[in-house]
Structure 1
Amino acid sequence: MVGVNARRRGTYTRLVTPAALADQVRSSATKVLRARGVDADVLPGTVTVERPRNPEHGDYATNLALQVAKRAGLRPRELAQALAEELALADGIASAEVAGPGFVNVRLAADAQGRLVRDVLAAGERYGRGEELVGKKINLEFVSANPTGPIHLGGTRWAAVGDALGRLLSAQGAEVTREYYINDAGAQIDRFARSLIASALGEPVPEDGYAGSYIDDIAAEILRKEPNALSLPQQQRHATFRRLGVELMLQEIQRSLHQFGTDFDVYFSESSLHHSGAVTGVVEELKGAGSLYLDADAWWLRSTEHGDDKDRVVIKRDGTPAYIAADIAYLRDKIDRGFDLCVYMLGADHHGYIARLKAAAAALGHSPDTVEVLIGQMVNLISGGKPVRMSKRAGNVVTLDDLVEAVGVDAARYELSRYSVDSVVDIDLDLLRKHTNDNPVFYVQYAHARLASLQRNAAELGLDTRADADVSLLTHPREGDLIRTIGEFPTVLRKAAGLREPHRVARYLESLASAYHKFYDVARVLPQGDEEATPLTYARLALCEATRQVLANGLSLLGVSAPERM
């Protein structure tokens, strides 16, 4: 290993975070390359700076020299050595060392790391937020469960993940509209109405109908509102049960979502697209643009021209619109409302919608990238090592309310958010009920509560936890590890928003909680007995408060509470 020590400085003027360090590596590499007559265009778009698995190798490492040496016509270790020498001159870097075939390991100065603590305390609830999406107007549609029954587990997953994603996108500066598409048109609503009428008449559930005690509850409420509903002529009776049934079911869905911490800015009715003439209008628009063609008495969208596996029927042979007609009209409405990006969060059985919605955007004269479709996989509940299948209220499905009743809102939201949406999730109800470190949400919330308790104890000792601490005293390896973990938070949020992956935040919070617990096990914070508080006491209190703030910020972005007592 070849080491380079940094020059002496009086104070450090630059806050060192992973993002800032990556910028510094790029800047230093540019200078090194130009000094050797090499254009900086050989540098990659993203400079990678990572924490080594072995802390003895440094605080951060970069493989940039290995990446660009061949293109630059230089030997990797030669380039790495020059890069290390240049980095060692930068503010906030204590030393830089060349390792292996061309890695550069970087150690940060304690004072530079400590300034991160001050930055967190100054930013408070805003720490971690960015401006990547400032000026971007995003429509985020999720859940959108049919108003024919309570929200099942798949919809519950989207309620947690979609709401968290909305918070993350907003935290990067986007203007986000959360939207729920009410599928209140079509055959499923007619089956729902027939099921309600059968219940009201005391008859068996229709063969293709909906079962569950919620059907009886809604039917009874309709009769309370309209006592003469059953004596109406058949067509009028069906329309009454249809209209009131959807209205009451939607109210129930909204109640469940609100209690789950998920609220929407817009509830958009599918039937309104048909009644307003929007569907007819967009069909005529596409005909005029040549995006539809007539074949076998049906009108087809030329979706294969835009990457779909087959053309789609928009108007059927009998003249009625296919389901995609409303989808296209709905997308037209979103675009007309000024959204730059329309994100759809759909269930596992909707893979075909990715290509057809992008094709619809292209047919409307917009980039297919105007549309983004996320597909969520199934959720299974496990209790006692066996699948949980039955709901008291909804027949053979498990609902949002069932899950909340079993484990609570926080545990449900956190657990559903901590996995990539493209993976099937098995939720262990027994684990989520435990108040142990094996339970991920308890582990993170307990770290926050422990830190809040520490601040209360400090206040009882008369210690000013907001004192201007000498953060350069935070030199213990566990302190450095905790500070560097805190420093990763803005990058984690940026990536989680950009990749549409809220689970990155949950996993980060678990890493931060782990780093804190390890720090607390070896570094005493508060004085004991007759001991006096020292400058290190105040520095560690500042570090603890910064950690608590980041845990609170992260939990808030997942829609999970940060309790001060547990």
Structure 2
Amino acid sequence: MTPAALADLVRTSAVQVLSARGLDHGVLPDPVTIERPRNPEHGDYATNLALQVAKKVGLAPRELAQAIADVLVAADEVAAAEVAGPGFLNLRLAADAQGALVRQVLAAGDAYGRGDGLAGRRVNLEFVSANPTGPIHLGGTRWAAVGDALGRLLAAQGAEVAREYYINDAGAQIDRFARSLIAAAKGEPTPEDGYAGAYISDIAAEILRKEPSALSLPEEERQATFRRLGVDLMLDEIKRTLHEFGTDFDVWFSESSLHDGGAVEAVVEELKSAGTLYPAENAWWLRSTDYGDDKDRVVLKSDGRPAYIAADIAYLRDKLERDFDLCIYMLGADHHGYIARLKAAAAALGHDPDEVEVLIGQMVNLVSGGKPVRMSKRAGTVVTLEDLVEAVGVDAARYELSRYSVDSVVDIDLDLLRKHSNENPVYYVQYAHARLASLQRNAAELGLRASADADLSLLTHPREGDLIRTIGEFPTVLRKAAELREPHRVARYLESLASAYHKFYDVARVLPQGDEEATPLTHARLALCEAARQVLANGLSLLGVSAPERM
């Protein structure tokens, strides 16, 4: 029995109690909160439902808790229900009900943990979106890991997710990029405001290979050629590194297309007509304070050129016209002001501001030997995605970047991630999976296999119960991780599951030894181990991390 199923049973019992007394059961929360007690001696699960609603229905909390307990103990799934303290209700499941969860996992397989809470939602998830002027740096790498994991989580809850990369290929930074490439092609020093690094020389050489006469073109044409080819080559490199990192996008959206196709001009005229833009100081301003922003924003500058927010509004308009009902932006720490302005833009376009969500990610630092790591082989002083992968591998990089809340600054200890020990979180979780896979191979050599037909009511050891209850938490963890946009909850859960398995394995022998015969308990424990392996695999998959069979 999953915690969610138990919560439904508790609520149904409470409805029965209140209805029998002619009291309003509409005050009951849905879902009911079910938690695991810190002290296992208090039971398998606990609920504070009676404390939550007793006053609303005019009953003493302990009286209400006892009445609910009396109904619950009549259910086959509940072995005991005891009132504690001011009105907490401690519950202990029947062995059959607890073991049934193992059967449920084996039946569901790869689908175990998935839900339909976001079914029917169309989500545009924009992340990374680094300027095509250099390799993906550490901040972008964090979004590549977290954003991809979030996309998987949202899809696992039934949402239709489009992963999108916004190519910032318009503006001054692209002109500086082109000038840097031209300087490198000429063998000249990097312009003062330009981009440095070995990758600039590599791209410049490739441009000359494609267009040998590029340097002899007239200045304006030369700039346009290096700009066009440079962006294309840099994007090819970005796509390659992201793909090798396990992150792919459904849409690569060009900012230039908004300007060239007239979308920016069109949305400005639309907002003028709607009265949400007003003229002042020879410029046009968005009335963003009307929608919760801390100040109005310039959309058209005094020289008539669009400000950057103009393209942002046009881009949002394009997303909304593609019928996305939720647009999630994953932005860097220096973009905090975008939260209010993008919501204001949605409102100005006649949409609910809640159709826009902005997640802000903090900085990532590398540490080795207790000291910061700053230098990159190809990008000057910027540490790139490829640098991190070269140092620790894709799995360790993705897992480590995903296991922290994006609100926190992350210090990645390269030395720790290279260790093959329990100190290394990704190794700890992957090793648990490999150990379980090895167990199944050893069982197969003995002619045994995990089966849902085993007598799972035999799983009564406290460590077995702890492992089963941890497995049962997985669907709730996934649901909350998707709802709160927090993939790190999955990583932390996997570590707790690995811990529960290792503790179980230390005290409970699974396979027969020597001339021993397999017993019903052997089959039950083998099924439990396969359920644990399945959940570890499912969780790692949602983080885009492999579940190795051998280590």
TM-score normalized with structure 1 length? 0.96
Aligned match of 2:167 in 177, 182, 188? Answer: 182
Q: Which residue is equivalent to 1:318?
A: 303
| Deviation readout 1:374-417 (Å, 9 max, x if unpaired) | 00000011100001011011001100000000000000000000
Segment drifting more, 237-246 vs 38-47: 38-47
1:281 aligns with 2:284: no
Aligned match of 2:105 in 120, 124, 131? Answer: 120
Segment drifting more, 18-27 vs 53-62: 18-27
- 2:405 alignment partner, SS class: coil
Give 2:106's aligned amino acid: L
Give 1:465's aligned amino acid: A
Q: Which residue is equivalent to 1:158?
A: 143
> In structure 1, how many angstroms separate the alpha carbons of the residues matched to 2:51 and 2:105?
34
Count of residues in correspondence between the two structures:
551
- 1:264 alignment partner, SS class: coil
Give 2:433's aligned amino acid: H
Mapping for residues 109-258 of structure 1, pairs under 5 Å: 109-258=94-243
- 1:349 alignment partner, SS class: helix
Q: Is 2:181–2:200's contact at 8 Å kept on the other side of the alignment?
A: yes
> In structure 1, how many angstroms separate the alpha carbons of the residues matched to 2:361 and 2:249?
19
- 1:221 alignment partner, SS class: helix
Structure 1: gaps (5+ residues): 1-15
> In structure 2, how many angstroms separate the alpha carbons of the residues matched to 1:163 and 1:90?
42
Give 2:384's aligned amino acid: T
Cα distance, 1:83 vs structure 2: 1.4
Q: Which residue is equivalent to 1:334?
A: 319
Q: Which residue is equivalent to 2:515?
A: 530
Give 1:472's aligned amino acid: S
1:62 aligns with 2:30: no
> In structure 1, how many angstroms separate the alpha carbons of the residues matched to 2:190 and 2:231?
18
Mapping for residues 362-441 of structure 1, pairs under 5 Å: 362-441=347-426
> In structure 2, how many angstroms separate the alpha carbons of the residues matched to 1:382 and 1:48?
41
> In structure 1, how many angstroms separate the alpha carbons of the residues matched to 2:283 and 2:322?
30
Segment drifting more, 140-149 vs 45-54: 45-54
Q: Is 2:8–2:31's contact at 8 Å kept on the other side of the alignment?
A: no
Q: Which residue is equivalent to 1:562?
A: 547
Identity of aligned residues (%): 84
Aligned match of 1:442 in 403, 416, 427? Answer: 427
- 2:334 alignment partner, SS class: coil
Aligned match of 2:500 in 486, 505, 515? Answer: 515
Q: Is 2:106–2:452's contact at 8 Å kept on the other side of the alignment?
A: no
Q: Is 1:114–1:474's contact at 8 Å kept on the other side of the alignment?
A: yes
Q: Which residue is equivalent to 1:489?
A: 474
> In structure 2, how many angstroms separate the alpha carbons of the residues matched to 1:467 and 1:160?
35
Q: Is 1:459–1:465's contact at 8 Å kept on the other side of the alignment?
A: no
Segment drifting more, 121-130 vs 68-77: 68-77
Give 1:287's aligned amino acid: K
> In structure 2, how many angstroms separate the alpha carbons of the residues matched to 1:423 and 1:90?
45
Cα distance, 1:297 vs structure 2: 1.5
| Deviation readout 1:460-486 (Å, 9 max, x if unpaired) | 111133362111111111111111111
TM-score normalized with structure 2 length? 0.99
Q: Is 2:102–2:452's contact at 8 Å kept on the other side of the alignment?
A: no
Segment drifting more, 476-485 vs 462-471: 462-471
Segment drifting more, 326-335 vs 36-45: 36-45
| Deviation readout 1:78-135 (Å, 9 max, x if unpaired) | 1111111112122311110011111100000111111111111111000000000111
Q: Which residue is equivalent to 2:289?
A: 304
Cα distance, 1:46 vs structure 2: 4.1
Over the aligned positions, Cα root-mean-square deviation in angstroms equals 0.8
| Deviation readout 1:177-216 (Å, 9 max, x if unpaired) | 0000000000000010011111111111111111110001
> In structure 2, how many angstroms separate the alpha carbons of the residues matched to 1:17 and 1:463?
27
Cα distance, 1:45 vs structure 2: 4.4
> In structure 2, how many angstroms separate the alpha carbons of the residues matched to 1:329 and 1:559?
32
Which 4+ residue blocks in structure 1 deviate beyond 6 angstroms?
none
Aligned match of 2:72 in 87, 90, 110? Answer: 87
